[in-house]
Amino acid sequence: MTGRDLPDDIRDLLALDLLAAQVQDWSIASDSFTWTLLAGDSERGHELATLTYVGAVVLHTNRRHLDRAVEVAAEVVGSEVVAAEGGGFEHRVTLGPAHAFVIRFWSVDVRRMPAPDHLRRTR
């Protein structure tokens, strides 16, 4: 999904390089889903990206899977944002090795901040 006609928040989400980003934390509150990912590498530098999806429904996963993703610092191996049928968007995510789920949402708040290299966990 590309294009200048996309809302700013979707362009912000698409600008993130989430491949190999590690899951740090997640939460669900009311109609929002938030998770924090450690993106980047030692060459480019790391950043913490906190993504809050508003009007969110998380499909094909559960709390146990998300807790486990934090525990093992699961890495993003696939990330795609598409327009959802009936309006809104879907963020289709695959965590390694092969746990795929979908976040269906209306808008997203993307917050980024530099992070020290030592936050990256090795397996």
Q: Is residue 89 part of a domain?
A: yes
**Beta strands 107-115 and 76-83: pairing type?**
unpaired
Report the domain count for the chain. Answer: 1
Residue span of the structural domain in which 14 resides? 8-114
pLDDT tens figures, 36-81? 999 998 888 999 999 999 999 999 999 999 999 999 999 999 999 9
User: pTM value?
Assistant: 0.92
Does the pLDDT at position 123 exceed 80?
no
Burial of 87 (C-beta count, 10 Å sphere; 0-12/13-18/19+): exposed
Q: Is residue 51 part of a domain?
A: yes
Give the residue with greater pLDDT, 1 vs 118: 118
Does the pLDDT at position 1 exceed 80?
no
Q: Is residue 81 part of a domain?
A: yes
Cα–Cα–Cα angle for 83, 56, 113, rounded to 5 degrees: 90
Q: Is residue 1 part of a domain?
A: no
pLDDT tens figures, 8-27? 999 999 999 999 999 999 99
Burial of 40 (C-beta count, 10 Å sphere; 0-12/13-18/19+): buried
Query: What is the residue whose two structure tokens read 């508003």?
Result: 54
